[in-house]
């Protein structure tokens, strides 16, 4: 269980280097801003440079540590691209204290039998394979941190079979298992922790794709859940690994 009414300390993430995927919008952007407000140097990864620059500018305007931008199209990235990301982070920062996997690909609800092969592949690539590859390639950098946290953003469809969630639901289910397996395999390294976080419905573009008839303004903003992500990413959640939140 996540702590209720958690109040993160002002310098909770001071001197930490945290990679956030999907940092150009939605929950990824909100989390990146919150991490920076609490002292972290945030590496902003996403497909659209203009959106990443907007997040960068917002962090600078708020007086946070200077972030870094790393454009990457996860839908077309290969193993070498993920390796180059890790090499760049190692060269620039020397270590990594956290990864928040917020990048997501979702077009529309559909029956499994109607999913086109290309959509299936791209969905698994962005929602599952990229999270695995980035974490795997960055693991040596995470091991250099005295306290590293990896958080995979999940979905209800990843925790219970739901019709018409198609490849998206299958990928999120794989992400849940991926996190638990990594926690088991790194149990001998207590400085590492791996957890999944399933946010409630939020006012994001991803939500609007799935529920176009919903009154989006009736939903809370992504900022409303950033205290939970700060707890998961910061030192107050030490010892919690392999959990679903």
Instruction: Tell me the whole-structure pTM to 2 decimals.
Output: 0.94
- DSSP of 65-123, one letter per residue? PP-EEEE--TTT--HHHHHHHHHHHHHHHS---EEEE----------GGG--HHHHHHH
| Contact between 59 and 74 (Cβ < 8 Å) | no
Q: Would you state the pLDDT for residue 213? A: 67
Which CATH architecture describes the domain 17-238?
A: 3-Layer(aba) Sandwich (3.40)
Q: For residues 98 and 41, give the distance between their C-alpha atoms in angstroms, rounded to a whole number.
A: 11
In the chain, which residue ranges form alpha helices assigned H by DSSP?
A: 26-37, 49-61, 79-93, 117-124, 130-143, 166-185, 205-210, 226-233
Contact (Cβ atoms closer than 8 angstroms) between residue 23 and residue 49 = no
What is the CA angle 18-157-234, rounded to 5? 25
The tens-digit pLDDT sequence of the chain (245 residues) is 889 889 999 999 999 999 999 999 999 999 999 999 999 999 999 999 999 999 999 999 999 999 999 999 999 999 999 999 999 999 999 999 999 999 999 888 889 899 999 999 999 999 999 999 999 999 999 999 999 999 999 988 778 888 888 889 999 999 999 999 999 999 999 999 999 999 998 888 788 776 776 777 888 899 999 999 999 999 999 999 999 99
CA pair distance 66, 118, nearest whole angstrom: 38
Residue 170 CA: distances (Å) to CA of 114, 123, 157, 166: 15, 9, 8, 7
Q: Is 25 helix (H, G, I), strand (E, B) or coil?
A: coil
The pLDDT score that the predictor gives to residue 16 is 98
Q: Three-state SS for 44?
A: strand
Choose, from 6, 56, 70, 168, the residue flagged as catalytic: 168
Structure tokens at 150: 């990896």
6 assigned to active site = no
Q: Would you list the domain boundaries of the chain?
A: 17-238
């Amino acid at each position: 269980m996540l702590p209720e009414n958690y109040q993160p300390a002002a310098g909770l993430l001071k001197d930490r280097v945290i990679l956030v995927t999907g940092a150009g919008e939605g929950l990824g952007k909100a989390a990146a801003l919150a991490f920076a407000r609490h002292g972290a140097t945030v590496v902003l990864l996403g497909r659209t440079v203009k959106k990443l620059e907007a997040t960068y500018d917002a962090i600078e305007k708020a007086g946070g540590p200077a972030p870094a931008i790393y454009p990457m199209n996860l839908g077309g990235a290969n193993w070498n691209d993920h390796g180059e990301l890790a090499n760049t982070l190692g060269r620039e920062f020397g270590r990594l204290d956290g990864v928040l996997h917020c990048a997501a690909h979702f077009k529309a609800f559909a029956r499994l039998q109607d999913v086109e092969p290309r959509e299936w592949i791209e969905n698994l690539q962005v929602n599952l394979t990229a999270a695995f590859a980035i974490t795997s390639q960055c693991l040596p950098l995470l091991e250099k941190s005295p306290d590293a946290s990896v958080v995979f953003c999940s979905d209800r469809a990843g925790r219970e079979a739901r019709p018409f969630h198609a490849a998206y639901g299958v990928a999120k289910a794989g992400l849940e298992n991926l996190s638990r397996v990594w926690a088991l395999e790194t149990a001998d390294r207590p400085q590492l922790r791996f957890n999944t976080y399933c946010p409630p419905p939020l006012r994001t573009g991803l939500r609007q794709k799935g529920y176009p008839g919903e009154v989006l303004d009736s939903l809370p903003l992504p900022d409303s859940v950033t205290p939970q992500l700060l707890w998961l990413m910061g030192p107050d959640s030490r010892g919690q690994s392999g959990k679903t939140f």
